[in-house]
Amino acid sequence: MSNFKYTAGLNHVGSYQVSGAPFLTSSVDATQAVKVEFPYVTSWVVIQNNAHANTEHLKVGFSQITFGSMIGITIVPKTDPQFYHR
């Protein structure tokens, strides 16, 4: 008997139409580059910068190369809307 198990692929529309399983992480210290890994492919993410000083901008990318080459987005502490992306 085959043990092959079908799972949804990256283009499985239904997986993105249902609400997501929760994932939260807080107090992330990103003063040095930090990687946050998810246990499954994300449907959407929100990132919030809680730094007190308005000069502590947070830079966000999806790879180290992106990060190093200054391609990405910047989140200003509290005064900017959170980054929300599907």
Partner 1 sequence: MSNFKYTAGLNNVGSFQVSGVPFASSSINASGSSAVKIEFPYVVNWFIVQNNSDTTDTKVAFSENGLNGSNYFTVWNRNTAAHADRSSIYDPLHLKITEIWMTGSNNMEIIAGLTNIPVERVNNIAPSGSNWSGSVGVG
| CB nearer partner 1, residue 4 or residue 81 | 81
- Residue list 42-81, contact with partner 1 (CB under 8 A): 43-44, 46, 48, 50, 78-81
Q: Does 17 bind partner 1 (CB under 8 A)?
A: yes
What's the closest the beta carbon of residue 69 comes to partner 1, in angstroms?
29
Q: Does 20 bind partner 1 (CB under 8 A)?
A: yes
Q: Which residues contact 16 (CB under 8 A, 6 or more apart)?
A: 43, 86
Buried b / exposed e over 60-84, threshold 16 CB at 10 Å, is beeeeeeeeeeeeeebebeeeeeee
Q: Does 21 bind partner 1 (CB under 8 A)?
A: yes
Handedness of CA 54, 76, 47, 35 (dihedral sign): negative
Instruction: Give the footprint of partner 1 on this chain (CB under 8 A).
Output: 14-15, 17-28, 38-39, 43-44, 46, 48, 50, 78-82, 84
